Amino acid sequence: MPSPSQQLQQIMNMFAYQKIELETFKKSAMSLVEQGADLKITDTSNAGNSLLHHLILTNQQNNNDNEISELLGLNKMPIQSLKIKHSHVLAAA
C-alpha cells in the first residue's frame, strides 16, 4: 500500500488534471495530512504544486481558508521554505 505521502501526490495529480472535484480533493488530502503525509510533496504536473499551492490557487470566495490555516498551523512547513510560484495570488488574497 502506498504511503500517505505517495497517496497525497496521487490525489494532487488527479486534481491537477481535473479528474476529481475540489471538495473531494480537499477532504482526501486533509485526511492524508492527518495520517502524516509530507507537506512538501508536489504533484507531477508541469506546475509542480504542493497541497498548499493547490488550496491557495483555488481559494475562490475564501472557501479553502480553514484548510490553508490548518496547514500553516502544523509547523511542518516553514513559510520561508515554500516555493511560492504564484506570489501574485497571495498578494491578491
Q: Where exactly are the structural domains of the chain? A: 4-92
Q: pLDDT tens across 45-71, in order?
A: 888 999 999 999 999 999 999 999 999
Contact 77, 39 (CB under 8 A): yes
- CA 43 – CA 16 distance, rounded (Å): 7
Q: Enter the pTM of the model.
A: 0.77
Question: Under DSSP, is residue 42 helix (H, G, I), strand (E, B) or coil?
Answer: strand
Angle, CA 41 vertex, CA 55 and CA 75 arms, to 5°: 70
pLDDT tens digits for range 3-34 = 999 999 999 999 999 999 999 999 999 999 99
Dihedral, 37, 41, 46, 49 alpha carbons, nearest 10: 80
